[in-house]
Amino acid sequence: MPPTARPDQYRALGLSTFAFTVCFAVWTLFSIIGVQIKQDLGLNDTEFGLLVATPVLTGSISRMFLGIWAEKYGGRVVFPLQMLTTSVAVWMLTWAQSYAMFLLAALGLGLAGGSFIIGVSYVARWFEAERQGTALGLFGVGNVGAAVTSFAAPFLMLAFGWENTVRIYAMVLALTALGFFVFAKQDPVQAARGMSCEATGLHAQLVPLKHLQVWRFSLYYFFVFGAFVALASFLPRYYVGAYGLELTLAGTLAALYALPGSVFRAVGGWMSDKWGARRVMYLTFFSSAGLLLAMALFGAILPLFVTLTVVLGFSMSLGKAAVFKHVPTYYPEHIGAVGGLVSMIGGLGGFVLPIVFGLLLDITGVWAAPFALLAAMVAGLTIWMHISVRKIDRRAGIGLAA
């Protein structure tokens, strides 16, 4: 990677993190306005789960091709185009009148979630390998956008209604796109290529995806990111339904989960740089399993439950950073393609799980069921990871396996 000055690195990191924060706030908007739409349309929990999950589907699938485009054309070009396109789709949401129309509009809004892999590709190109974990961890703090929406959107809805809240989000996103394009610089790799056709061809970009290792990283991310998004979307509904809280208070309590799940991602990146991503993954999986089990068993005690969600958010933030420490380390020339697949699979967790949560509630009527399901999932992942790592260690001779 061509050498870069510290101010340019910080500029790229700061602009990308801010843009990702705005995009993530937009991406999780349905977790708040969806509660009002559910009441207006008389939706059941399964229909509500599908509505909340639909933006996650688009945001997940789009990461694959957005990652490839970012790798080829550079984040300075792809990031603003993605944000402008999404802002139009968000504005069009206010035209929806039926459940089917809301689902269609939600697909467009979901493009906001594709911003993650664009930012990863752009930021990673500015930093040397030994600082990429910390840099990408700081960039991942943009997940705090979920907390911003959980806290701010309910108050905006009370003041202006959900339609005007959506319009405000669309305008902020469009302004962010323009600001990024004006102030961001072309990344050093793209500058060295001169935007020529010398960029890696599509076939070469996709070759690493045949490696089993890439799919292992993807399944880790299915939990640490996919479940994070699912819970950020589900918790406002949970607090309203299980405890009878007002939406404003429910959103605030949900923000308490999303905030550490975002802010401390930078700590996870630093820990991965210092002690290795594998150790951080073990820490995340063991602690998450215990916390989710406790949430399922002690959900009736509201203060305890909220405290457990805060600690869970912190634990998952470490894991999110650890997974993406692997990508530029093992695939420095294919960050967009490999990172796109990993983040796509992770994002699909955020699509599938809210629907499953809704089905569980409709079938069992037990509010603790989604947390028990996640506890079982992460326990299985922990066993699977340990067996895989032991096999690799035996073949490599106690090396630093991923």
Sign (positive or negative) of CA dihedral 88, 94, 97, 102: positive
User: What is the per-residue burial (b if ≥16 Cβ within 10 Å, else e) of 195-206?
Assistant: eeeebbeeeebb
Q: Is 274 exposed, middle or buried (0-12, 13-18, 19+ CB in 10 A)?
A: exposed
In contact, 312 and 257? CB cutoff 8 Å? yes
Q: pLDDT at position 296, please?
A: 93
Count of the separate structural domains present in the chain? 1
Residue 268: CATH number of its domain? 1.20.1250.20
At 259, is the secondary structure helix, strand, or coil?
A: coil
Q: How far apart are CA 112 and CA 115, in angstroms?
A: 6
Question: Cβ–Cβ contacts within 10 Å for residue 240, how many?
Answer: 17
Q: Which of 69, 143, 170, 92 is nearest to 347 (CA)?
A: 143
Looking from the CA of 104 toward its CB, the CA atoms found within 13 Å total: 9
Q: Check: CB of residue 153 under 8 Å from CB of residue 110.
A: no
What range does the domain containing 16 cover?
Answer: 7-184+210-396
DSSP 201: P
Decide: 25 and 168 in contact? Cβ < 8 Å: no
User: Among residues 347, 335, 337, which one has the least CA distance to residue 111?
Assistant: 347
Q: Within a domain: residue 401?
A: no
pLDDT for residue 339: 76
- Asked if residue 192 belongs to a domain, the reply is no
Mark the ranges of the chain whose per-residue pLDDT is less than 70: 1-4, 193-210, 212, 333, 336, 396-402
20 with 142: CB under 8 angstroms?
Answer: yes
Q: Where are the beta strands (DSSP E) in 112-165?
A: none
As a whole number of angstroms, the distance between CA 237 and CA 26 comes to 18
Domain presence at residue 71:
yes
21, 148 in Cβ contact below 8 A?
A: yes
Contact (Cβ atoms closer than 8 angstroms) between residue 186 and residue 358? no
| Coil, strand or helix at 100 | helix
DSSP-derived 3-state class of residue 111: helix
- pLDDT, residue 319, reads 92
pLDDT in tens, 316-366: 989 988 887 877 777 776 776 777 778 888 888 888 888 899 889 889 989
Can you spell out the DSSP letters for 8-48? HHHHHHHHHHHHHHHHHHHHTTHHHHHHHHHHHHT--HHHH
Contact between 357 and 48 (Cβ < 8 Å): no
In 276-368, alpha helices (H): 277-297, 302-330, 335-364
Report the length, in residues, of the chain: 402
Distance (Å, whole) CA 68 – CA 150: 31
Query: Does 155 reside within a domain?
Result: yes
pTM over 0.75: no
Looking at residue 73, its pLDDT comes to: 85
Q: Between 45-73 and 335-364, two packed helices, what is the crossing angle to 10 degrees?
A: 180
CA gyration radius, the chain: 20
Let me know if residue 1 belongs to a domain: no
Asked if residue 136 belongs to a domain, the reply is yes
Maximum Cα–Cα distance across the chain: 62
DSSP conformational letter for 223 = I
The answer to whether residue 315 sits within a structural domain is yes
